Amino acid sequence: MTKAVLIITNMGPKPSAPFQGQFVKNQVLALQQRQTLAYFYMSWHNDSLLNRLLKYPVLFVQFFWSYILSFKSFDIIHVHFFYPTIWLALAYKYLRKPSVKIVVTCHGSDIYHYQPFSFLYRWCCGFVDQWIFTSEKLQAKSYTAAPKAAVLSAGIAQIYADAQQLSRTEKDIDLLYVGALDKNKGMDRLIALLPQLADKTIYVVGTGGYQAQFEQLKKDYPNLQLAAGQSAEQLKALYQRSKCFLSLSRNESFGLVMTEAMVCYTPVIATLTDGSAEQLGADSFWVLDQADEQVLQQNLLKKIQQLLSLSDSDYTALQQSAHQHAKDCLVNDVAAKIHQIYRDLEL
C-alpha cells in the first residue's frame, strides 16, 4: 500500500528571493513522479517587519486549518528545515494522528544557528523517525545520535543532466558567484578581492544585504556584472560560460550551487566548509582553510590565478573531475532514494 506523504517546509519564494526553497520544490516534483503527495510551504513570505514578526504564527494557522482539521490522513510527514518547522509535524502527531512517522531533512542553519541546543530543540529530536543530512559533517554536528540517518545531496534540477562541456576558450566569464549576498556567504571577501581582479570578468548572481554595495561597486569596476534570481535554465548557461566558480562561505552544509557548477564542467575554488569538504574533499588543492582572513585573501588570489593559467589539458582534466563528482546529485536520483526511505518506514 502506498503511504500518504506530506512534505512541509518553512521556506518559500518571496519577491526579493523568487527561487528560495527551489530545491525543496524540485524534490517534491521529482517525488510526485513516483507517488502522490501533498506539499505545504511558507506562502506568505516577504521582507516586511510585519512578516518577520508574524510569519510563523500565520504558517501554523494555515497548517492547522489545511491539515489538522482536514479529513485527509497522512502516514508520513517529511519536514524540510528541522527547527522550528518540526513543531508543525508534532502538532499533527499530537492532535491528529499519533502514529504518523516523521522524516526530517536538515539543511545546515537549522543546526548551526541553534547551538548550543536548547531543551526544546533536543526534546523535539526525540520524535524524528528518520533523519536526512546533506553531509556527514553536518550529521556530526547535529544533536541526534539516532541510527536511522541517511546522508543525501539535496539534489540539483534535472535540467543540468544535459550540461555541455565548453572549452576554456569558449567561456567568456572568468569568475562566477551564485547565492545569497550576505556575510555568511563571504561577500565581504569577494569585495576585498575586486581591486586585484580588475582584469577579470566577474559575474555575481543573487540578492541580499550586500546588493546595494555591489551596485555601487559596479561603477568603479566595469568588469563586474550583476543579476538577481535566475532560473535553472539561465543558471546552466552561466555555469557553462564560466571558467571558475567561487564559494566563499563561512558555513555551508552542502552548497548546491557548487554541485550545479561542477556538473556543468566548471571547476570550483571554495573555502573549507562542510559542503566543500563533502564535494571537493577537505584536502583538495582548491579548498582553502579560513582560519586567518588575511592569509585566506592571499591564498584566494593565488588559487584564482593558478586555475585560470592552467594548461589546456590540465584545465580539461579539472573540468572532467568536477563533473564526475557532481553527476550523481541530480534530483531524480535523490528522489528515488527518498522514496525508498518512505517505503522502508514501518507504520
pTM of the complete model: 0.83
DSSP assignment of 121-162 equals HHHHHTT-SEEEESSHHHHHHSS---S-EEE----B-GGGGG
pLDDT score, position 164: 95
Helix 256-263 / helix 312-326 crossing angle, nearest 10 deg: 130
Every domain of the chain with CATH number 3.40.50.2000 lies at 5-155+331-344, 158-329
CATH T-level topology, domain 5-155+331-344: Rossmann fold (3.40.50)
Q: CATH number of the domain at 158-329, out of 3.30.70.790, 3.40.50.2000, 3.40.190.10, 3.40.50.1220? A: 3.40.50.2000
If phi > 0 it is left, if psi is from -120 to 50 it is alpha, else beta; for residue 310 that is: beta
C-alpha to C-alpha distance for 270 and 85, rounded to whole angstroms: 30
Q: Per residue of the chain (347 residues), give pLDDT as tens.
A: 678 999 999 998 888 777 778 889 999 999 999 999 999 999 988 889 999 899 999 999 999 999 999 989 999 999 999 999 999 999 999 999 999 999 999 988 899 899 999 999 999 999 999 999 988 888 989 998 777 899 998 889 899 999 999 999 999 999 999 999 999 999 999 999 999 999 999 999 998 899 999 999 999 999 999 998 788 899 999 999 999 999 999 988 888 899 999 999 999 999 999 889 888 888 899 999 999 999 999 999 999 999 999 999 999 999 999 999 888 889 999 999 999 999 999 76
